């Protein structure tokens, strides 16, 4: 056995979890992503999906993907930079820019690549990238690749952010990057507080709308729109893998920023372009979101219903105000135990443990789709109460 294999062979945590019956990952789904899915041969309620609008199995989205494959084939066989730009890529970029209120947009093949490629190409060695301590891993990795000076501030703490900005060289280029909706905790960034510091410290702002697009603001235009601060935010990032029912991502900004990213981002230049099917599916999903505002109304009706239920039942849910509802457990082993017990009861949720959170903040992530029913929420809530009480988490 070589040294690399020896090192990897020492990593046995997954096997230990499997032996104890607590390993919750890589469960196979053999049906469409919906409020109910088939896992391990049986139906379970899905409360672990990011498909907030419930569009992954919408007939118009599926039809758009099929039509795109029939017209363009299954892939582009190259990067956008060379032979991989389709007319639908350019058309969708224009639609995305208009939707989020910016001059131009650029599509990447995944949301992770979007943050990675944008932050790393915009910021250099003499610059600063400043992040909330709970920002998504793709933002963290983009900051690492940029060679910029990395700084972070306490979660949603504007006083901490200001102290961090005061450590920067006054004339330096400073980019504050923040999740609009935090993906595990479900709370909103204090965007008004961040914007209030923008001119004072001469910095730029980038907002990751991965979990805000389709959910927050007018017709789901995102957190920037929700706060009425689109014009104060320099760069808006979004992904197709949540509300837009596909895979891919985009950056929207002024034409000069997009021009720079288009010609410098390594994850854009050196990756195959987004597939015809994914692009067409996301485009169809965006059109449905614009045409059917009742979907967003339905999602918020369900969200408020679930939030009220969890609070009344005594669950600790933190400061969430979105369809992402964290149910705090604060114990890694109990988090795994609850997840597996719920699965046996027919409810799928996601466990959140380090490095996605601190060891003292472990939780299960209960997320809603516009296509859920209140009856499904009630069933899941009943099972959650049972499991939490059996493990001594809920009194």
Look at residue 377 in the predicted model and tell me its pLDDT: 98
Specify the fold of 59-291: 3.40.640
pLDDT tops 80 at residue 331: yes
Residues in the chain: 395
* Direct distance between the N- and C-terminal alpha carbons of the chain, in angstroms, rounded to an integer: 51
- When pLDDT is averaged across residues 7-32 and rounded to a whole number, the result is 91
pLDDT digits (tens, 9 = 90+) for 222-264: 999 999 999 999 999 999 999 999 999 999 999 999 999 999 9
Query: What is the per-residue DSSP string for 313-343?
Result: HT---TT--SSEEEEE---HHHHHHHHHHHH
Kindly give, in sequence order, each residue whose CB lies less than 8 Å from that of residue 104, ignoring residues fewer than 6 positions away: 93, 94, 97, 252, 253, 254, 255, 258, 259
pLDDT tops 80 at residue 1: no
Look at residue 356 in the predicted model and tell me its pLDDT: 79
SS3 content of the chain, % helix, strand, coil (to 5): 45, 15, 40
Whole-structure pTM value: 0.96
Please state the domain extents for the chain.
15-46+293-390, 59-291
- Band of residue 368 on the pLDDT scale cut at 50, 70, 90: very high
Asked if 15-46+293-390 and 59-291 have one fold, the answer is no
Q: Are 179 and 139 in contact (CB under 8 A)?
A: yes
**Helix axes of 59-72 and 276-291: crossing angle, nearest 10 degrees:** 150
Pick the CATH number of 15-46+293-390 from 3.20.20.140, 3.30.450.20, 3.20.20.450, 3.90.1150.10: 3.90.1150.10
Look at residue 192 in the predicted model and tell me its pLDDT: 98
Query: Can you tell me the distance from the alpha carbon of 357 to that of 137, in angstroms, rounded to the nearest whole number?
Result: 11
Q: Are 177 and 133 in contact (CB under 8 A)?
A: no
Q: Which residues are catalytic?
A: 183, 211, 242
């Amino acid at each position: 056995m070589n040294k690399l294999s020896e090192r990897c062979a020492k990593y046995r945590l997954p096997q230990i979890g499997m032996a104890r019956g607590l390993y919750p990952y890589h469960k196979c789904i053999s049906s469409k992503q919906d409020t109910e899915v088939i896992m391990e041969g049986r139906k379970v309620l899905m409360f672990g999906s990011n498909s907030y609008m419930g569009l992954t199995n919408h007939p118009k989205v599926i039809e758009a993907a099929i039509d795109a494959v029939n017209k363009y084939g299954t892939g582009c066989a190259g990067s956008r930079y060379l032979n991989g730009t389709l007319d639908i890529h350019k058309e969708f970029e224009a639609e995305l820019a208009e939707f989020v209120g910016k001059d131009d947009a650029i599509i990447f093949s995944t949301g992770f690549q979007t943050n990675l490629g944008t932050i790393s190409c915009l910021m250099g060695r003499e610059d600063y990238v400043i992040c909330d301590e709970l920002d998504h891993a793709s933002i963290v990795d983009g900051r690492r690749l940029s060679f910029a000076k990395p700084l972070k501030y306490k979660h949603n703490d504007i006083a901490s952010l200001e102290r961090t900005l005061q450590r920067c060289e006054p004339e330096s280029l400073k980019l504050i990057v923040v999740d609009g909706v935090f993906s595990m905790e479900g709370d909103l960034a204090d965007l008004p507080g961040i914007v209030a510091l923008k001119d004072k410290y001469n910095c730029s702002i980038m907002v990751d709308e991965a979990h805000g697009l389709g959910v927050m603001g007018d017709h789901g235009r995102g957190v920037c729109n929700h706060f009425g601060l689109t014009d104060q935010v320099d760069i808006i990032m979004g992904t197709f893998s949540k509300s837009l029912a596909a895979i891919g991502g985009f950056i929207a900004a002024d034409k000069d920023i997009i021009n720079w990213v288009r010609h410098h981002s390594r994850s854009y230049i050196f990756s195959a372009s987004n597939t015809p099917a994914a692009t067409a599916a996301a485009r169809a999903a965006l059109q449905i979101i614009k045409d059917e505002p009742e979907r967003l109304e339905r999602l918020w009706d369900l969200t408020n219903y679930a939030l009220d239920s969890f609070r009344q039942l005594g669950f600790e849910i933190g400061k969430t105000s979105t369809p992402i509802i964290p149910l705090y457990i604060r114990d890694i082993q109990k988090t795994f135990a609850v997840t597996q017990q719920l699965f046996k009861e027919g409810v799928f949720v996601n466990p959140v443990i380090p490095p996605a959170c601190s060891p003292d903040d472990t939780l299960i992530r209960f997320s809603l789709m516009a296509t859920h029913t209140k009856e499904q929420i009630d069933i899941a809530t009943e099972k959650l109460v049972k499991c939490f009480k059996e493990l001594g988490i809920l009194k």
